[in-house]
A and B are shown apart, each in its own frame.
Chain A
Amino acid sequence: GIQVEQSPPDLILQEGANSTLRCNFSDSVNNLQWFHQNPWGQLINLFYIPSGTKQNGRLSATTVATERYSLLYISSSQTTDSGVYFCAVDNQAGTALIFGKGTTLSVSS
């Protein structure tokens, strides 16, 4: 099955710093999503981005489907950005999302 690898596993930042999170996947996909899991466990949709580039405020994402990777950029980080960031891609049948192990981000003031 498809493998999803995220890096780095942990990231510690000072408030105001920028960061780049990476997601590599082992096969072609039709769906790629980035999520932020907040301290209460809820998964917040950040981007639905099977290809191309999108921006939403301080966050942006780029997926290069032909090279099987996606990047999530966080600029001017804030303490509220802390949490776990997951990348997920669909399986071959499109019946499930395959999640990476996540990047745990800690932003301190």
Chain B
Amino acid sequence: SQTIHQWPATLVQPVGSPLSLECTVEGTSNPNLYWYRQAAGRGLQLLFYSVGIGQISSEVPQNLSASRPQDRQFILSSKKLLLSDSGFYLCAWSVHLGTEAFFGQGTRLTVV
């Protein structure tokens, strides 16, 4: 069966520091991968999606970037964190675009 791993679970980082969040999927090949962010008390918003290695699409302009160095690995990065980057970040995967999506356990990021 397919599983999705996301780490770390929680992270406290100072303003201006770099960020790297990692997500990996097991048990499937060539998944579509997604990064979502959930601000406190609000719904989820898509940040990036990827349909293949090296293929990244951004949905909203922000201080973040994403990379997909391997088929089942998706990384969310920032060179310099802002206070507004605080939130709950979730990675997700699906077999195809528009099909059922499955989410990781999330990373709670606090920028101080």
Contacts and interface: CB of A to CB of B under 8 A. Distances in A.
A83 interface: no
- Majority SS at the chain A contact face: loop
A87 to B, nearest CB: 10
A45 B102 contact: yes
A45 B97 CA distance: 17
A61 to B, nearest CB: 13
A43 B103 contact: yes
Interface residues of A, number: 22
A33 B102 CA distance: 10
A96 B88 contact: no
Contact of A30 (B49, B98, B105): B98
Contacts, number: 55
B90 A43 contact: yes
Interface residues of B, number: 24
A42 B105 contact: yes
Contacts of A86: 43-44
A41 B42 contact: no
Contact of A101 (B43, B97, B102): B43
A13 B57 CA distance: 42
Interface in B72-92: 88, 90, 92
Given A86-B43, A96-B59, A101-B42, A41 B97 contact: no
A97 B99 CA distance: 10
A66 interface: no
